[in-house]
Every structure is written in structure tokens, then in C-alpha cells.
């Protein structure tokens, strides 16, 4: 047998109990450096500052850093020598290629 309530709980009593079950909006403050809304006592996600100290690297900074690393050449590029493509087929001397007449021995 499962547990059952001993007495019926009225609608008002149940709603009164659930009155404090509500979602609250987060309290937001302005960042002192970039003036963006942020959660208090946390580093700013936009500029990465907590108070006067830089504690986080932002996404924009990491993207710039990656692009600078990609554009920076590691070694000076040396142009490769031009090579002719290899031929894989053999040319057959036909009357067009040699200027001679082509005869067959069929009779």
C-alpha cells in the first residue's frame, strides 16, 4: 500500500504552500569597465575584467590570437620547380603522325 494523506488539503492551503515556488529574475549590475549588464560578484563576460583586474580572456581576443598565428609565416616559402606532367600513354605512329600512308594487308 502506498502512503495516503490523513486529511484533505484544501485548495487555499495547497496554493499558500506553493506561493513561494516562483522563478526570480537575476539581479544584474553594470560592468565598471564596459558598462554591460552582468551578474554581481562575477567577471564580466564581455571584457573579462573583475573589478580592476583582467581575469578572463574573451572570445574575441582568442579569435584574434588564432588568426594572427595562422597569418604569421613559420618559414619563408620557396617556390617549387615547374615540372612537366608525366605521360602515361604511348603515342602510336599512324599516317597522321608520320606523314606516311597506312596500308593493311587484308585482301
Structural domain total, the chain: 1
**Is the entire prediction scored with pTM above 0.75?**
no
Is residue 67 in some structural domain?
Answer: yes
pLDDT 10s digits, 41-88: 999 988 889 988 888 888 778 888 888 888 876 666 667 777 776 666
Is residue 62 in some structural domain?
Answer: yes
pLDDT 10s digits, 27-48: 999 999 999 999 999 999 888 8
* CA pair distance 97, 99, nearest whole angstrom: 6
Is residue 20 in some structural domain?
Answer: no
Nearest of 43, 39, 41 to residue 25 by alpha carbon: 39
Is residue 4 in some structural domain?
Answer: no
Domain that holds residue 66: 44-72
Amino acid at each position: 500500500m502506498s502512503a495516503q494523506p490523513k486529511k484533505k488539503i484544501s485548495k487555499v492551503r495547497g496554493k499558500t504552500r506553493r506561493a513561494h515556488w516562483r522563478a526570480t529574475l537575476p539581479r544584474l549590475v553594470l560592468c565598471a569597465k564596459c558598462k554591460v549588464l552582468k551578474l554581481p560578484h562575477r567577471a564580466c563576460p564581455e571584457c573579462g575584467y573583475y573589478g580592476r583586474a583582467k581575469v578572463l580572456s574573451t572570445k574575441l581576443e582568442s579569435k584574434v590570437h588564432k588568426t594572427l598565428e595562422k597569418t604569421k609565416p613559420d618559414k619563408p616559402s620557396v617556390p617549387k620547380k615547374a615540372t612537366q606532367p608525366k605521360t602515361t600513354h604511348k603515342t602510336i605512329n599512324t599516317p597522321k603522325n608520320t606523314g606516311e600512308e597506312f596500308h593493311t594487308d587484308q585482301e
